[in-house]
Structures are given as structure tokens and as C-alpha cells.
Amino acid sequence: MKNTLILCGLLLLPGQVLAVTPPAKNIGALDWSVKSTWKLSTKPIDFAQSLDNKLVYVLGDDGKVYIYTVDGKEMGIIKVDKSTIAIDIAPRGEMLYLVDDNNTYTAIDVSFTKNIDITGAPFLGKENAPVTMIVFSDFQ
């Protein structure tokens, strides 16, 4: 009987040793925070963000690609085919790439123009000329 108890005790001993978990190692903590949130104008199908973190492109289910700044200001809208299922962009957002379910790939050159207020600035030529050339000559 004594031998049986000793044998049972020895058989239970490895189970107790294995059940002890080693102390957890401190591998660091996860830190995160929300940088920006805004409401989209459409139900999103796909999106892409430029690598310079300046532009966000959102493909909506309404057949349009919405271009936003990272803080949610709408920069423009590009109408695309409603069969478009995925988008991608060049690293700085200067090209938009589309793929649709008709096996079609489309590349679109994207650029933004800015109006410069030249009211009161000196000029040469006609005041109402169709084209205005601006020269910033006072910079070094």
C-alpha cells in the first residue's frame, strides 16, 4: 500500500510541475491614440492614403472617388465607373489607379490647381488678359 501511494505521488508530481506557469516577461506596453476621425460622404468600398500622409482617397459605392486631406477636408471628387472595385495611388497621391469588375485597369493623373489672389499687385499688359504669369522675383 505504501509503495502504491509513493508511486501515485511520483506520477502526479510531473503534472504539478508542468502546471506551474513561468512568470510573464515584461515585453512592453501597447500605446495608441486616435489621430483623426471624420464622417465620410458615402459608403466606402476601398481607400488609399498617400505615403506622405497628406491625402486620403476613398472609393464610394456611388461611383466616385473622394479625395480628402488627412484632417477630413474634401479636396475634390472624381467620377469613376460604378463597376470599380479597388483603388490604389502613387506614393505622393499624384496618380490614381482603378480596377473594375470588367477586368479593366485605369490610371488617372491627379493634380490640384490653386488660385492666387493678385489684386493690387503690379502687372504688365492688359488687366483682363486670359492668362496671367506670376513671377516671384523678390525671393533669394
Residues 7-24 have pLDDT tens digits of 555 555 555 545 566 666
Map out the domains of the chain with their CATH numbers: 44-109 (2.40.10)
Buried b (16+ CB within 10 A) or exposed e, 93-110: beebebbeeeeeeeeeeb
Q: State the greatest distance between any 2 C-alpha atoms of the chain, in Å, as a whole number.
A: 117
pTM for the predicted model, two decimal places: 0.65
115 versus 60: which is more confidently predicted?
60
